[in-house]
């Protein structure tokens, strides 16, 4: 069957009898790849990662090999740091949680390999504090790894030293932004830094070169070293290599987490065949394909997409929403993004005004407050949307919303401004009628139960 | 709530008056040792430690941590007010966080919240912060995405995580809090 998962990272997750302790991990071949990597040497590992064309799984999809190549361990005189970004908090995403809770050693092995490859001696694992149990699991796993000689001084007699510490966040979404995360790790408010000059590869943690990678990305490094960069690059599609963890939530029969080769299936196949279709026999209305910051896709839409054909020539194709491949490039061409892999599905009974009001409430709560357009603007988005949802909308509110959103994106230090504006811009562009309708029947709308979506 | 910056322990109420044991002090030192480059990095870990030990972070906590890390008190206090996890007042012994972000909202988080509020007999406090029951047993608040959207709606009770919490499960959870 075409919809069979290919599990690399989730191979042992939920497997019967698999436990998260080091003994079980080693029984399943754990830390063998570390030995292989230590024998290969750092430059060889970096080369394999580059060949694999791995793209970061945190949201931006930046090539990991390129990110690493900004730092040359042989030339840098300052210490180099690596931080694992385990601040998973993009609404709709819950993949890293599975790795941390069910297979923490896989992450640690990938992290040690990545640290070794980049000459890192001290690394931090930044985990969101709501994963309280996950934090304890990681502390235990790190102690186990150290006890077995995979961490600490002279790892497996290679002469290489590495310490990894867990650092807990404190409930702020902005800490997922890499420079905000660095500020937070330095013991400050998580105000993102402006780039340039504060590229983490140059002026990162303690103003030293720093690599920040997502949990899933670091796990992929282990599999790349296991199978070789070229073999890994054959999984998935060109420029969209490897497997991808996909999290599905919202109105589907079987929400959950799945792993497929990147671009192996379409949005329609994912929803209909993998997740069992829309629940309660309802119809599809809208999909947010890459975490709540991604632009919404509307059922029935047709996208014009340029794609390389078999002969390598670019051809323009018309694709329906259901036929969009779930990879970085296709979703970007459709005007949205693959982001963090969180697919949120909404059925035809859902009120788009309420859904957007909910999303904007999230961003209003999470804006760090550093840049004025975002701090003030996102709050206004929330206020205006709440008043429409509560039945006090004004005729010019949809226009006003668009105007406010347009003035946030591109005027902030970090990408949060875009993340907060994109949902508003896309919902308004695609569901304008619903906003107007809601405002026309103001009085009736007020009677609806709104608690679930806008509180 | 405004906090007197240089308040001494006499301004503290409740458990924040508790003793700072040698074990606590040792734990703090262990946490600080994880940041050999900059002690300031240990502020968040120490704030967690303080809140887990004393229930909340009052002026005494701010002062103690600042002194421990050779910082100005404002450098600690500004984190308490920035990060939503930290609180300046005691919560109930059983603190519930209900995820309210889109996937959980689609899954009925609002109903779960209303059910919990009724079961705990909590009144709206008007300022949107956590509601605390009069006997100090329960407190309840909405939280942003808890990263388990596939099993919505989700609830965090103290450190314990609960999935697919409908009305019935909410009742069981509350009954188990003794």
> Most B CBs within 10 Å: which of A93, A100, A187, as the mutation test of the B interface?
A187
Contact (CB<8Å) A451/B147: no
Nearest to A226 by CA among A2, A69, A11: A11
Q: What is the distance in angstroms between the Cα of B72 and the nearest Cα belonging to chain A? A: 12
> A139 is written with which tokens?
């502390």
On whether the CB atoms of residues B111 and B99 are closer than 8 A, the answer is: no
Mapped onto helix, strand or coil, the DSSP state of residue A129 is coil
Contact (CB<8Å) A132/B101: no
On whether the CB atoms of residues A118 and A82 are closer than 8 A, the answer is: yes
The predicted structure's pLDDT at residue A66: 96
Same domain, A225 and A265: no
How does pLDDT run across A28-87, given as a tens digit for each residue? 999 999 999 999 999 999 999 999 999 999 888 999 999 999 999 999 999 999 999 999
How does pLDDT run across A243-288, given as a tens digit for each residue? 999 999 999 999 999 999 998 999 999 999 999 999 999 999 999 9
Same domain, A52 and A199: yes
The predicted structure's pLDDT at residue B11: 44
Same domain, A228 and A255: no
pLDDT surpasses 90 at B10: no
Same domain, A138 and A198: yes
Query: At A150, which CATH number?
Result: 3.40.50.11540
Identify all chain A residues contacting B149, using CB atoms and an 8 Å cutoff. 91-94, 247, 249-250, 255, 342, 344
For residue A296, being part of any structural domain is answered with yes
- The dihedrals phi and psi of B166, each to the nearest 5 degrees, come to -95, -175
The domain made up of B94-176 has a fold known as Glutaredoxin (3.40.30)
For residue A94, being part of any structural domain is answered with yes
% pLDDT > 70, chain A: 96
On whether the CB atoms of residues A354 and A453 are closer than 8 A, the answer is: yes
Identify all chain B residues contacting A187, using CB atoms and an 8 Å cutoff. 38, 40-44, 69, 75, 79
> Which ipTM did the prediction report?
0.93
> Number of folded domains in chain A?
3
Identify all chain B residues contacting A288, using CB atoms and an 8 Å cutoff. 102
Of B38, B100, B161, the CB nearest to A186: B38
Task: Name the average pLDDT for chain A.
Answer: 93
Identify all chain B residues contacting A133, using CB atoms and an 8 Å cutoff. 159, 161
Indicate the residue among A302, A332, A347 that finishes a domain.
A347
Same domain, A199 and A85: yes
Query: Cα–Cα distance between B30 and B48 in angstroms, integer?
Result: 14
Selected residues 370-429 of chain A with any CB under 8 Å from a CB in chain B: none
Domain that holds residue A277: 237-347
> Most A CBs within 10 Å: which of B144, B155, B162, as the mutation test of the A interface?
B144
Which residue of chain B has the CA closest to A449?
Answer: B110
Instruction: For Cα atoms B59, B65, B70, give the angle at the middle one, nearest 5 degrees.
Output: 120
Cα-Cα-Cα-Cα dihedral sign, residues A350, A353, A354, A355: positive
How does pLDDT run across A112-160, given as a tens digit for each residue? 999 999 999 999 999 999 999 999 999 999 999 999 999 999 999 999 9
Of B47, B102, B156, the CB nearest to A130: B156
Alpha helices in A274-371 (DSSP H): 328-333, 352-366
For residue A3, being part of any structural domain is answered with no
Q: What is the distance in angstroms between the Cα of B90 and the nearest Cα belonging to chain A? A: 17
Query: Cα–Cα distance between A37 and A23 in angstroms, integer?
Result: 20
Mapped onto helix, strand or coil, the DSSP state of residue A335 is coil
Q: Based on the number of CB atoms within 10 Å of its own CB, is B128 exposed (0-12), middle (13-18) or buried (19 or more)?
A: exposed
For residue A149, being part of any structural domain is answered with yes
The predicted structure's pLDDT at residue A15: 92
Same domain, A261 and A397: no
Identify all chain B residues contacting A170, using CB atoms and an 8 Å cutoff. 44, 47-48, 79, 83-86
> A27 is written with which tokens?
């029984």
How does pLDDT run across A88-119, given as a tens digit for each residue? 999 999 999 999 999 999 999 999 999 999 99
β A163-168/A122-127 pair status: parallel
Same domain, A56 and A172: yes
On whether the CB atoms of residues B65 and B50 are closer than 8 A, the answer is: yes
How does pLDDT run across A331-372, given as a tens digit for each residue? 999 999 999 999 999 999 999 999 999 999 999 999 999 999
> Most A CBs within 10 Å: which of B32, B101, B124, as the mutation test of the A interface?
B101
Q: Is A358 on the interface with B (CB under 8 A)?
A: yes
The predicted structure's pLDDT at residue B9: 41
Of B83, B150, B159, the CB nearest to A171: B83
How does pLDDT run across B35-93, given as a tens digit for each residue? 999 999 999 999 999 999 998 999 999 999 999 999 999 999 999 999 999 999 889 99
Which residue of chain B has the CA closest to A183?
Answer: B41
pLDDT surpasses 90 at A310: no
Same domain, A192 and A262: no
Contact (CB<8Å) A168/B48: yes
Mapped onto helix, strand or coil, the DSSP state of residue A319 is strand
pLDDT surpasses 70 at B3: no
On whether the CB atoms of residues A102 and A210 are closer than 8 A, the answer is: no
Same domain, A335 and A324: yes
Identify all chain A residues contacting B79, using CB atoms and an 8 Å cutoff. 170, 187-189
Same domain, A143 and A267: no
| Lowest-confidence pick of A152-161, A162-171, A302-311, B135-144 | A302-311
For residue A9, being part of any structural domain is answered with no
Indicate the residue among A215, A234, A253 that finishes a domain.
A234
Which residue of chain A has the CA closest to B145?
Answer: A91
Query: Cα–Cα distance between B27 and B30 in angstroms, integer?
Result: 5
pLDDT surpasses 50 at B152: yes
Could you tell me the maximum CA-CA distance found in chain B, to the nearest angstrom?
A: 50
Q: What is the distance in angstroms between the Cα of A120 and the nearest Cα belonging to chain B? A: 14
pLDDT surpasses 80 at B13: no
Of B45, B110, B144, the CB nearest to A362: B144
Same domain, A272 and A192: no
pLDDT surpasses 50 at A406: yes
On whether the CB atoms of residues B171 and A268 are closer than 8 A, the answer is: no
For residue A14, being part of any structural domain is answered with no
The predicted structure's pLDDT at residue A48: 97
How does pLDDT run across B80-112, given as a tens digit for each residue? 999 999 999 889 999 999 999 999 999 999 999
Work out how many CB contacts closer than 8 A connect A with B: 159
Contact (CB<8Å) B85/A292: no
Same domain, A356 and A277: no
Q: Is A245 on the interface with B (CB under 8 A)?
A: no
The predicted structure's pLDDT at residue A444: 61
On whether the CB atoms of residues A42 and A322 are closer than 8 A, the answer is: no
Query: At A382, which CATH number?
Result: 1.20.1440.230
Which residue of chain B has the CA closest to A366?
Answer: B144
Query: Cα–Cα distance between B38 and B42 in angstroms, integer?
Result: 8
Contact (CB<8Å) A255/B149: yes
For residue A15, being part of any structural domain is answered with no
Indicate the residue among A205, A234, A263 that finishes a domain.
A234
Rounded to the nearest angstrom, the gap between the alpha carbon of residue B167 and the centroid of all alpha carbons in its chain is 24
For residue A1, being part of any structural domain is answered with no
Selected residues 262-291 of chain A with any CB under 8 Å from a CB in chain B: 288
Nearest to A271 by CA among A16, A9, A10, A3: A3
pLDDT band at A452 (very low <50, low <70, confident <90, very high): very low
Domain boundaries for CATH 3.40.30.10 within chain B: 94-176
Of A94, A133, A251, the CB nearest to B106: A251
């Amino acid at each position: 069957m075409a919809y069979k998962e290919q599990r690399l990272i989730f191979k042992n997750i939920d497997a019967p009898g698999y436990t998260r302790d080091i003994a079980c991990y080693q029984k399943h071949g754990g830390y063998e790849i570390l030995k292989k990597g230590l024998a290969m040497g750092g430059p060889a590992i970096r080369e394999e990662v580059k060949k694999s064309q791995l793209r970061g799984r945190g949201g931006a999809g930046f090539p990991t090999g390129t990110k690493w190549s900004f730092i040359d361990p042989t030339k840098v005189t300052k210490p180099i740091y690596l931080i694992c970004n385990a601040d998973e908090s993009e609404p709709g995403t819950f993949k890293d949680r599975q790795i941390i809770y069910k297979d923490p050693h896989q992450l640690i092995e990938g992290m040690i390999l990545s640290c070794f490859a980049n000459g890192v001696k001290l690394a931090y694992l930044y985990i969101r504090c709501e994963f309280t149990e996950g934090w304890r699991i990681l502390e235990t796993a790190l102690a186990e790894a150290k006890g077995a000689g995979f961490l600490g001084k002279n790892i497996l007699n290679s002469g290489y030293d590495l310490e990894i510490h867990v650092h807990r966040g404190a409930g702020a979404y902005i800490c997922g932004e890499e420079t905000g995360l660095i500020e937070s790790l330095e013991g400050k408010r998580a105000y993102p830094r402006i780039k340039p000059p504060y590229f983490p590869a140059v002026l990162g943690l303690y103003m030293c070169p720093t690599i920040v990678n997502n949990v899933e990305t670091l796990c992929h490094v282990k599999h790349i070293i296991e199978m070789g960069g070229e073999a890994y690059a054959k999984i998935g599609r060109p420029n969209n290599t490897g497997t991808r963890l996909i999290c599905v939530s919202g109105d589907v029969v079987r929400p959950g987490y799945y792993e497929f080769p990147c671009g192996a299936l379409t949005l329609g196949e994912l929803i209909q065949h993998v997740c069992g279709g829309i629940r309660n026999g309802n119809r599809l209305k809208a999909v947010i394909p890459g975490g709540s910051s991604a632009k919404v896709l509307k059922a029935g839409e047709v996208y014009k997409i340029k794609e390389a054909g078999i002969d390598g020539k670019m051809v323009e194709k018309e694709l329906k929403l259901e036929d969009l491949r779930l990879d970085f490039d296709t979703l970007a061409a459709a005007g949205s993004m693959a982001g963090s892999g969180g697919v949120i599905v909404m059925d035809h009974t859902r009120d788009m005004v309420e859904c957007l009001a909910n999303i904007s409430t999230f961003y209003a709560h999470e804006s760090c407050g550093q840049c004025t357009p975002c701090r003030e603007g996102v709050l206004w988005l929330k206020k205006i949307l709440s008043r429409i949802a509560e039945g006090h909308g004004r005729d010019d509110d949809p226009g006003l919303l668009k105007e406010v959103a347009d003035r946030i994106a591109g005027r902030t230090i970090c990408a949060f401004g875009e993340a907060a504006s994109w949902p508003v811009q896309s919902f308004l562009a695609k569901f304008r009628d619903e906003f107007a309708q809601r405002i026309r029947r103001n009085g009736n709308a007020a009677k609806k139960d709104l608690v679930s979506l806008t509180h | 709530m405004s906090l007197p910056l240089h308040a001494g322990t006499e301004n503290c109420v409740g458990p924040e008056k508790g003793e700072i044991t040698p074990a606590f002090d040792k734990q703090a030192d262990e946490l600080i040792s994880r940041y050999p480059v900059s002690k300031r990095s240990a502020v968040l870990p120490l704030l967690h430690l303080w809140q887990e030990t004393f229930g909340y972070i009052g002026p005494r906590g701010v002062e103690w941590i600042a002194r421990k890390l050779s910082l100005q008190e404002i450098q600690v206090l500004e984190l308490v007010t920035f990060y939503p996890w930290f609180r300046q007042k005691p919560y109930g012994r059983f603190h519930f966080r209900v995820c309210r972000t889109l996937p959980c909202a689609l899954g009925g988080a609002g109903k779960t919240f209303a059910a919990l509020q009724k079961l705990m007999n909590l009144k709206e406090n008007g300022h949107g912060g956590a509601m605390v029951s009069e006997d100090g047993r329960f407190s309840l608040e909405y939280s942003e995405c808890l990263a388990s959207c596939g099993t919505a709606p989700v609830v965090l009770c103290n450190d314990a995580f609960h999935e697919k919490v409908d009305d019935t499960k909410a009742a069981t959870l509350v009954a188990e809090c003794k």
